[in-house]
């Protein structure tokens, strides 16, 4: 994996953790509410693994956001 990929994973993990904590949710509570495995989300937050798109979609939905919003990717206005 290239360095920029690792940086992206770290930033994504930090973003997910920050969003979860800003909603005052423990890892277990967030996962329970959204049908996710705590060990999977923990590994994503710590940038120890890549995530399946379906998992990222569930995480985004758990935060009431779109996948591009979660990934912090601006949508083009075209």
> pTM of this prediction?
0.88
- DSSP letters, 4-72, are HHHHHHHHHHHHHHHHHHHTT--HHHHHHHHT--HHHHHHHHTTSS---HHHHHHHHHHTT--HHHHTT
Task: Express each pLDDT in 42-78 by its tens digit.
Answer: 999 999 999 999 999 999 999 999 999 999 876 665 4
Q: Is residue 54 part of a domain?
A: yes
Residue 28: domain span? 3-69
Q: Is residue 14 part of a domain?
A: yes
Structurally, the chain folds into a number of domains equal to 1
* CATH number reported for the structural domain that contains residue 24 in this entry: 1.10.260.40
Task: Express each pLDDT in 1-32 by its tens digit.
Answer: 457 889 999 999 999 999 999 999 999 999 99
Residue 75 DSSP code: P
- Amino acid 78: pLDDT: 47
- Amino acid 17: pLDDT: 97
- Amino acid 11: pLDDT: 94
Cα radius of gyration (the chain): 12
């Amino acid at each position: 994996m290239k360095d920029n990929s690792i940086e992206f994973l770290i930033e994504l993990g930090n973003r997910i953790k920050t969003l979860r904590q800003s909603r005052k949710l423990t890892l277990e509570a967030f996962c329970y509410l959204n049908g996710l495995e705590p060990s999977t989300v923990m590994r994503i937050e710590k940038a120890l693994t890549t995530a399946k798109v379906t998992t990222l979609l569930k995480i985004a939905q758990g935060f009431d956001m779109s996948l591009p919003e979660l990934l912090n990717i601006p949508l083009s206005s075209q």
